[in-house]
Every structure is written in C-alpha cells, then in structure tokens.
Structure 1
Amino acid sequence: ESKISSAGGAGAALPKPGGATSHGKKVPPASWIPPGLLQRRLPWSVVGAKSSPTPSPFPSQEPPDPAGEMPDPKDSSQASRNADAAERRISQIKDILAAPASSLKTVSIGTVSVRVRDPARPDLVPRLEVPFYEASQEVLRHLQWLMQKDRLGQDVFLIGPPGEFRRNLIMKYADLAQREIEYVALSKDVTDSDLKQRREIVGGSAIYTDQAAVRAAVHGRILVLDGIEKAERNCLPIINNLLENREMSLDDGRFLVHPSRYDTLAKSHSSAEMKKWNLVRTSDEFLVIALGLPVPKYEGYPLDPPLRSRFQARNISAPTFLSQITHLAKIAPNVPQRTLERLISVSMVLRDMPVDRGITIPEFVAQLDAAATLLSRLPALDPRALLDATYPYPLLPTTDGEQRSVIETAYHRFDFLGPKAFGASAAALSSLSQAASGYRLVKLAKGPSTIVVTLEPTLLTADASGLRLLTVPAGPHPPLPVDPFTYVQTDYHSSLLVTLTILHSVGDICVIGEKGSGKSALLRVWTRGLGYNVETIPMYKDMSSRDLLQRRSTTSTGDTVWENAPLVKAALEGHIAVLDQIEILPLGTLSTLQRLITDRELVLPDGTTLIHPARHASLLRRADTTAAMLAAKKIFPIHPAFRVVAVARPASSSSPKGNWLNPEILAMFRFVVVRPLVYSEETAVIRTLCPGLDESKIKKLLTFATMLRSEQEEMGKLLSSALSTRASLSRFLPALARVALERMLESCDIIPTEGALDVAE
C-alpha cells in the first residue's frame, strides 16, 4: 500500500535503541549497526525525525578487537572512508533535525520509506496530468524498487518496450518523492556540450552555462537520460566518471568532487581555499535514471559493458492484463468491460506474437488510454476504427499479404471485423480502407479557443442514440467554408474529416498516404474548418533533432543567441505544426519529441522549459509563484490548442519497406491512412473540376492510372511512385521504365498523335 505521512511533530524525539518506531519496527542498538549500513543515504531508523537533542546512532567507543590485536594497516584507507561516511551521515541527520516540521514528510510503499522535503524548485518536480495505474500492485512494486535504489544512492537503468510507460513511472516516483528532475532526450546529435557545459558569447566574452548533468549533480536532482541506446558511443563515456565516482572536470575549470572527499577537504581547508581550487561538491541526492530499449530486438547501439556496470537494471515490461483493465475502467467507466477486454486482448496478442514460418508481425506497443477516452465520449464509435487509428499496419502497402492475413485473423478472433468481409483474398485485402468512425458531422459551434462539434451516429443502436457533442481545440479564426473550385468533397473524404476531428480531441495525428493521394488538400480543408494557423515544417534527410527546436545564431555584436524553430513557435502560440515527410528523417530524430507529443513537456537547448498548461496553472496557484517569476526562469506553458500533424508516405527511398514506422513512432501518434481515390471517385472529381473534358479521354486516363497503381512488379512500383494523377514525370524516367510506361499507355489506347513532340529527343 502506498501512503504519504508526516514523520513527527516539532517535539518528537528520536526512538531509543532497542525501542520501536511508528512503523512497528525495532530500532537496533547503536553498537549493532554494521559499517555497510552506515554507507546508505540515511539510517532508516532516523528518517523523518525532527527533534533535538539526540543520541548519536554510532557507537560511543570502538568495540574491542576479538583477537586483542591492532588492526591491519592495509585497512586504514577503508577505515578512513568509513569514518568520512559516518561524519557525513551525522551532518545529514543534523540537517534533518534542523528542518522545519512542515517541510519534512515520509513516503512509504510497503516497508520502504524515503524522506520528502519541500523542493527548492517546484517547477522542476514533474506532475502527471492523467491517472497512472493508481490501483496496480505491479506499478507499486516498480515504484518501491525505485525508492530502494534512491535510498541506496544507486543509479538505475530501466529497460523495456517503447512507449511512455517507463518515463511516466519515473515521473510518478519523482512526483511522490517531490524530487526535481533534469531530462535529456538522447540521440546521435547529442554531444558532450549538451550534457556538461555549453559555451556562449555574451557581451563579447565567453561564458559557460551548466547543462542538465552538471545542474543535477550540483543541486541533487534526478538526471533522466531517455533513449540511451541512440547516443553515440563517444558521448556517454563522458559522464562515466560522474556515474562511478561522482566526479567530473568541467570546461570552465571547475571540478565536481565526491561529497565525502569534499567534506574531508573542507575540514582542513577554508572555504576560500576550496573556492580558489574551483572544487564543487556533488550532492548526496544526485541520482541518474537511464531509459533504453533492448538491442538488438530494437534498433540502436548496445550499452557498453563498462557503462552498463554503473547501473542497477530492471526490466519494465508492458502492464499486465489485470493492470490495464483496471486502469482503463477508471478512465472510461461507462464503456462496457467486454469492449475494453477485447481491445486489450488483441493488443497483447499482436505484441507477443512469435515469428511463425518467417512471418514477422509488427509489434503493438501503443497504450489504449486514448482509445478508451474516445469510446467514453462517443459510445457509437466503431472499435475497429480505433484499432486502425492505433495500429495502421494492415492498411499500408508495405505490409505483405501474409502479414495482413495474420493480423486480420487476430482481429476476427476478437470480433473486430473490418469494412469488408473476413476471408477476402490478398488482392482484396490490399485495397481495404480505414474503418469509418460511425459518426457524421452535423454542425460546428465556434468558441473562444474551442469548437463544439455536433456528431450524429450513422447507425442508431441501443448504446448510442441521438446527437453527441464533442469539444475540440481550435484556432483563433472562424471556420472557413470549403472552396468548391479547389476541393471536391467525396463521401470518403467526409469520413476522413470526421475521423481527423475525433482523433484531434485526444492528441496528435500522423497522416499516411501515397504521393498524390490528397493528404495536403485534406489537411488544408480540415485546418481551415477549425480556424487554425498552420506552421508547415518540411523535413530533410540530414535534419538533426536540434533543428526541430532551435537554431543557433549571432547578433550584430557577435553574441550567440538561440532562435525558436517553427515547431516551438507553434507550441507557444497554439498553431498546428505540420511535419511534412517524416519518413526521411534519420533514426531517432523524431523520437526526441516523445515527451512533447505525449506529455506536452519540452526542454530547449537554451534552457527554456515548455510545460503542460495544467501544470503551469497549478504552479501559479502557489502563493510564492507568479507568471513573471516563471518567465524569469524561462518556464512557459504550451498552448492548449497546439497540435502536431505528421505527414508521411508508407515508404521512401531510404526506407523502402516502411521501417521508419518503428514501435516508438507508433506509440506517439494516432494514424489516418489516406488511400488513393477509386475509379468512380476520381471520375467525379475530374468531372467537377474540369467539366469540359471528353468523357472517353477521362476514361482512358483513369484506366491507365488504376492499372499503374495495382501493378505489383518492381518496375510498376517505380512508375507508380514517379507518376500521379496531377503530374507526369515520364520525360525523366530511365529507359527501361519508359518502355514499360509506353506499353501500359498503349494497352489503355493512349498513343501519341502524329506530329506530337517527342520528349525523349
């Protein structure tokens, strides 16, 4: 059982040796305490005490030597270290006794307790804005283990599948223990200056600013290293000495010293001398928690053995079925338990499915919190539509027929039937569309920063009858109508717009579709309908994670400054940030935005911190905090209307099999897959936009387009990627591809007329 309790009043006294504490445990006599226990952060028998005077917890005299001999001189160094540790513990106990009664508590999980102080920087203490498996004994065991390692001062390495579960576990513990954190999202672009110190030019002079690792070591915070498998091999050894010995040399000439060594030096030297030597004491409360994925199952670099030995590791697997059903039942109490059980069951089957006959099924790693929330708000929502939005692999052309058949079998087992009957051929399955939401849009009512969407079920059932109101974030502008000269609304696109709006109410979205399938036009109509300003950010192959956030520049006087990228501008002003062509980004670049997308928290290179608007509001409710004070600390809220919309193709030249959609990205977004228009839909669009065209020519052109898209050979796929209904690049094709194209044109009775220009000449 988890509990938080005050650990004594102003007049409370330390328990006497041999007596009993408030936990019912007997305090051992002072002479019984072994040296190993003295090396812990705090003796458990005095945690939370706030009274004085107090007897020393250490023996008043040395115990007699059993052999009646002097100790071995070889053990003098160990004895000296034990003495230093004892002195440091006494100093800590004195600090506890001198602390105000209102500032000291204990947090207990089972038999493990840690002391809790009022944080010096409450803005650095994380806070989860959503429930986090409150009744799960599994989560409590993880938290208890973290509490034990925190008390022992042992650094931690949490390994497990992708997703926010491990990160939220750390944030939950830091919230319970009121521990300040420093967060670093690691990638191949992170250098030693991002961990230790960064040099800036201010007023014509070079200064060094402490980065996350140094700030955490000096001020006693938890340093969270997320994505440790993505860091370059020459990056993490920089902090190896800080992990092992709590020591590090800094670029500005200072030197971080182990707390016991610093305290020993401070006894025989004045503070002026210590300052002259540029010695800085590493805090006893400093703790490092690393997060990583198991490699080689996932892509990345395996952890070097010397660095791995610095951590106490724990495998954090996905929550069990019981934990998930209890958690989702609290999030969505009005959703039938049978529906939640089916969703959890199919996710666990697809997550743990073994490789059978060489068929590898993509892992289902996404959490189902958003799906349960939507089902709670919209009872008539099709659960298959939620699965398609959470796990889009069956809809992608990069998934082969055997993989799609296995996934559909799992769906059929739990009664998640798709838009077409089960048992269709592989060719029919390849043309499946994303399942419709089960609602149609009735009207929009614009508010100051939101829009109330009125939805009507397409099929009235006993569970969902009548209209439903859904409040979604919106931009500052009034909704704009659709321009009939640039956009033709089809039933399929109307269904996609409703799906986009529903998913928009719970988080960020990724739109996937082939070239020319209408992704940009669809998003343009959707964002205008919600009154948003749009920041379009084109991706490129060599883009770094830092380029997504800030750009380093210089002023006219030569001083260095950091300029916000469009993504940060969108987060502060409440725009929609469209990340165009994320499939070409290097591995790990987009993963650095995990905390921004899932938690709405972000630390920028210049030290600015963007936090969740609810957390910012809770800080302002404190009597000692104002908005001006937070702005002075470079802490700003993310706008509630901010959203990220990623746009991608199923495959790219750098990822022909669609490997860019790895489990980490799968856990970050909800997905909308846009298929190409079918023959009848495309005919209606062309007739509407170009009413004067000859019907026979339209028929020939669309027949050719349909044939090209259905081509399964490599040459046909090459042509399909180079051509679309809106553009023709045949003059730039290789010779073999050009010959194949001309044969297809001839088969559709599309031949050049006499006197036509030969583009090959």
Structure 2
Amino acid sequence: MQSRLLLLGAPGGHGGPASRRMRLLLRQVVQRRPGGDGQRPEVRLVHAGSGADTGDTVNIGDVSYKLKIPKNPELVPQNYMALSDNLFQIICWKFDFIFGIISFSSLQELTKREVEYIALSRDTTETDLKQRREIRAGTAFYIDQCAVRAATEGRTLILEGLEKAERNVLPVLNNLLENREMQLEDGRFLMSAERYDKLLQDHTKKELDSWNIVRVSENFRVIALGLPVPRYSGNPLDPPLRSRFQARDIYYLPFKDQLKLLYSIGANVSAEKVSQLLSFATTLCSQESSTLGLPDFPLDSLAAAVQILDSFPMMPIKHAIQWLYPYSILLGHEGKMAVEGVLKRFELQDSGSSLLPKEIVRVEKMMENHVSQASVTIRIADKEVTIKVPAGTRPLSQPCASDRFIQTLSHKQLQAEMMQSHMVKDICLIGGKGCGKTVIAKNFADTLGYNIEPIMLYQVQCSFLAALGL
C-alpha cells in the first residue's frame, strides 16, 4: 500500500501558492526521528557523476534517496534551497522522520521531484481533478487535470485546503488514494501499477491500450495540506479519507531555532530588537491570544520584516509589525487594546514617527544576472539608504515625474514604504473607497516600469486567484 502524508497546521499570515505553503511547512516540522539520539544528521548531496542523470544521491543521516531526471524541469520547485547552511540542515533534520517512512522527501527541489498543485475550495468539482472538456472545431476534447497528470507521470500531487473539499469530490480522492484507480470521462481507466503489471503477464501492452487501461506510476504521491476543524472554519475530515493518510501535526519552529534564523538574516539589527519582535509574534500565536479572538501572527513573514530592518536598522519595530499585522484595521476595540498591551509588555509601543521613511529620492535601472532590477534610494531619518528591488521591463520614471499626480507628504511616505515591502514581499493596499489606492498603485508601477492589468475582484473569483497565488 502506498504512503501518503496529511499535514495539519496553523495557517500562515496570508494565502499563497504551494511554494509559499511548502516553505512554511519545511520550516515548521519539529518532531525528531524516533529512536534517534537528538543529533542532527548531516545533509549531503553525493555526486556519482557529472549530474543527476548519472546517479546523484541525497543523504539525510542514514537515509538515502537516488535522484531521477525530471521530464519537466519547470514543474520542480526552484530557489527554496537557497538558504543558509544552518537553516538547510535544520529543515532537513526535521524531515528525517518523514523521509524515512515514505522513501521520498518533501523537499521537492532537493530531490528533483515534479509537483502538481490544486487549491481545493467549496467550488471544486470532479472536473477540476480529473478532466476538462473543450470544444475545438466542433469536436470535444478532454484535457487531463492535475490529479490525472500526477498519477500517470509519477509526480507529487499537493492538495491545498483539504478541509474545504466538498462531499462530491471525496469519492474521487478516496478511490485514487486507496486503490490508485480512477474512471476518466474520455473512457480511460487509471489502474494501480501492481495490478497493471500483473495483467501484463497475461496480456500485451497493445491489448491493455485497446482496453483504455492506463498505468498509475509507482512514484505517484499525495501531500494534503489542511487546517484543523475546529478551530478554523471548514469541514471535519471524512474518516475514510483521513485514514488513508499518515498525519503530522505541524507547529512553528522552536523559539531557539527561529531566533537563530532571524539573527542570521538581520546582522545589522540588534539582538534585543530581534528577540523582542519574535517574543511579540510568539505571544500572539499562543493559546491565550486565540482565546481572546486574536488572529494568528504570520510567523513565516518575520524573516521578511527582519530583512527590511536589516537595511533600515533605525526604523522602529512597531512600524514593521503594523505591516505584517494591521491590528488597527482588523480588530475591534478590545482586540486593539489586547495587542497594545502585548506591545507595551515587550517595550514596542513607541512608534518613533521621526524615524519613518519620508520619500523616494531617486530610482535607477540596473541589470543583475539578466534580471531587471532597480536601485532605489529612500530618505529616512535624515539619511539616504539605497536598496535593490525587482523592476519591470518598461523604462523607469522618477516618483514625482507624473504631472497627473501631485503627491502630498503622506503619499511620498506611503510610496517609500511600498518600496520597502516590495524588496521582500508582494503588497496589499487597504483603504477606504476613493482614498486614492488605484492612483498610488499606478504611480508605483510607473516608477518601477511595470505593466498594469486591473482586475475587478468579486467573491466568486477569490478561489481562482488563490489558486494563482495572488
């Protein structure tokens, strides 16, 4: 029987594609390998030749995995192993237990595994998992969807938000997980590798093809990500579906490891500031804060905040906290008072308005490794700090160049803060109707040479944009 993995944990601070959720997942697994002595095994990539095609092997402690050449390299996650050596060892140590059980690592990039991803929602149907029908020149064609592609090509299928799955898709998932079988709309039938190979002993492949029987790869694996219900909204997991997974309850990194990670990112930030920031965030993720109705603090975004503080060490921590956790907008009076109490406890209540970014001084185009970037100089506390941010392909313009937009002091400060956020993350502008969000966003795009594609967002489109990682 094939192994599956079901991971339940607290959500991050925002929705996002599998890459973001997997990165959070990798940083959170904390259970040590049973029977171990507590030592972190060394992670090594053993080269048997000039490349993975000649038999490279990944060793995590005494567990080995032989790499295979991906048929579709674009489906292998990229740039998630570009971490400090210490953090890389921590992540792989946390995965030692899972790696040994299911004979493959969820470190998809490290092991060159191809990935298929789908974000489940209340609107997800069988068609989204199996096949989609298209009409071309008056003829109907069936297009394989993520579950079929993953099963036949031997990829890892990631199911995001399993607790949101409606009852209509559970039979499809159950049969695929338990028996490795699925009846397709175009007449084909997916069959487990074991049963298919037994049939091959008595029949030829040509006969099986004429019967529309398709072999499910023995390398096919499923990882389901979900939230516990209750505490969070959704459907309790169906017992038959739940029994088909090996479950792991995922927590955040231990305080000590998280602190060590933040120290390595923010070399220019004082250790006291980093400790205060992490202590504040950890407190808001405690059971006591949950009882008060406070939303979880996005601990996975702390690294981005420290990266900004590393470039702007004079900036107050409370200002960075308000970017990650806009409690003044999200919470009512009692919630605000509770958060303010935690800020006061860790001596973070002074906003230091004189040390906030004031304006963007200049923007210059630059290329790095054939990637468009911009060198942006920001004035903060009577100093000028230059940072690198991603840029578009169009010509750049200076922030005050537009004669259609007369910037006030608050506009200039907001543009500078957006530039700081853009250095590490995407941006979400929140404001009342008619306050100028669209104008500011367009001016920001013009400054960095981005093309704009406006989308009017309605409730029905939320699941679609979530699947895109937006």
Which of 95, 102, 105 aligns to 1:150? It is 102
Matches of 1:133 and 1:391, distance apart in 2: 27
Deviations 1:135-158 (A, max 9, x none): 35663344223312322x9xxxxx
Q: Secondary structure in 1 aligned to 2:101?
A: helix
> What is the Cα deviation at residue 537 of structure 1?
1.2
**Match status 1:392 vs 2:291:** no
> Which structure 2 residues correspond to residues 355-366 of structure 1 after superposition, within 5 A?
359-366=292-299
Go from structure 1 to structure 2 and tell me whether the alpha carbon gap of 1:519 and 1:201 turns closer, same or farther (over 3 Å shift): closer
Matches of 1:110 and 1:485, distance apart in 2: 62
> Which structure 2 residues correspond to residues 538-577 of structure 1 after superposition, within 5 A?
538-543=456-461, 545-546=463-464
Deviations 1:360-417 (A, max 9, x none): 2221124211111112222222221111111101x22x52222212211211222212
Go from structure 1 to structure 2 and tell me whether the alpha carbon gap of 1:5 and 1:444 turns closer, same or farther (over 3 Å shift): closer
Residue in 2 aligned with 1:322?
A: 256
Residue in 2 aligned with 1:3?
A: 43
Residue in 2 aligned with 1:121?
A: 72
In structure 1, runs of 5+ residues without a counterpart are: 10-99, 154-168, 421-434, 460-465, 547-589, 598-761
Q: Secondary structure in 1 aligned to 2:224?
A: strand
Matches of 2:246 and 2:360, distance apart in 1: 56
- 2:163, 2:235 within 8 Å by CA — same for their partners in 1? yes
Question: Which residue identity is paired with 2:364?
Answer: K
Deviations 1:263-284 (A, max 9, x none): 1111111222212211112111
Higher RCO, 1 vs 2 (CA within 8 Å, ≥6 residues apart): 2
Residue in 2 aligned with 1:260?
A: 194
- 1:437, 1:499 within 8 Å by CA — same for their partners in 2? no
Residue in 2 aligned with 1:592?
A: 467
Go from structure 1 to structure 2 and tell me whether the alpha carbon gap of 1:445 and 1:200 turns closer, same or farther (over 3 Å shift): same
Q: Secondary structure in 2 aligned to 1:253?
A: coil
Which of 127, 147, 160 aligns to 1:193? It is 127
CA radius of gyration, larger in: 1
Equivalent residues, number: 421
Residue in 2 aligned with 1:479?
A: 397
> Which structure 2 residues correspond to residues 357-436 of structure 1 after superposition, within 5 A?
359-367=292-300, 368-393=302-327, 395-396=328-329, 399-419=331-351
Deviations 1:575-620 (A, max 9, x none): xxxxxxxxxxxxxxx5334xx35xxxxxxxxxxxxxxxxxxxxxxx
Question: Which residue identity is paired with 1:354?
Answer: E
The runs of at least 4 consecutive aligned structure 1 residues that moved more than 4 Å come to 5-9, 129-134, 480-488
Which region of structure 1 is more displaced relative to structure 2, 478-487 or 174-183? Answer: 478-487
Go from structure 1 to structure 2 and tell me whether the alpha carbon gap of 1:479 and 1:308 turns closer, same or farther (over 3 Å shift): same
> What is the Cα deviation at residue 179 of structure 1?
1.6
Which of 135, 140, 150 aligns to 2:92? It is 140
- 1:134, 1:327 within 8 Å by CA — same for their partners in 2? no
Residue in 2 aligned with 1:349?
A: 283
TM-score scaled by structure 2? 0.81
Deviations 1:275-308 (A, max 9, x none): 2211112111111111111112112222111111
Matches of 1:129 and 1:235, distance apart in 2: 31
Residue in 1 aligned with 2:16?
A: none
Residue in 1 aligned with 2:24?
A: none
RMSD after superposition: 2.9
Which of 514, 519, 526 aligns to 2:432? It is 514
TM-score scaled by structure 1? 0.51
Go from structure 1 to structure 2 and tell me whether the alpha carbon gap of 1:175 and 1:542 turns closer, same or farther (over 3 Å shift): closer
Deviations 1:463-498 (A, max 9, x none): xxx432122334414426659986554333332222
Matches of 1:446 and 1:179, distance apart in 2: 39
**Match status 1:289 vs 2:223:** yes
Residue in 1 aligned with 2:59?
A: 108
**Match status 1:214 vs 2:148:** yes
Go from structure 1 to structure 2 and tell me whether the alpha carbon gap of 1:138 and 1:451 turns closer, same or farther (over 3 Å shift): closer
- 1:227, 1:292 within 8 Å by CA — same for their partners in 2? yes
Q: Secondary structure in 2 aligned to 1:174?
A: coil
Matches of 1:252 and 1:526, distance apart in 2: 48
Matches of 1:436 and 1:212, distance apart in 2: 52
Q: Secondary structure in 2 aligned to 1:410?
A: helix
Matches of 1:528 and 1:7, distance apart in 2: 47
Residue in 2 aligned with 1:456?
A: 379
Residue in 1 aligned with 2:214?
A: 280
Matches of 2:68 and 2:157, distance apart in 1: 18
Question: Which residue identity is paired with 1:113?
Answer: S
Matches of 2:455 and 2:234, distance apart in 1: 26
Matches of 1:314 and 1:341, distance apart in 2: 29
- 1:454, 1:470 within 8 Å by CA — same for their partners in 2? yes
Which of 450, 453, 465 aligns to 1:535? It is 453
Question: Which residue identity is paired with 2:375?
Answer: V
Q: Secondary structure in 2 aligned to 1:201?
A: strand
Question: Which residue identity is paired with 2:138?
Answer: G
Q: Secondary structure in 2 aligned to 1:307?
A: helix
Residue in 2 aligned with 1:28?
A: none
Go from structure 1 to structure 2 and tell me whether the alpha carbon gap of 1:308 and 1:444 turns closer, same or farther (over 3 Å shift): same
Which of 207, 222, 231 aligns to 2:165? It is 231
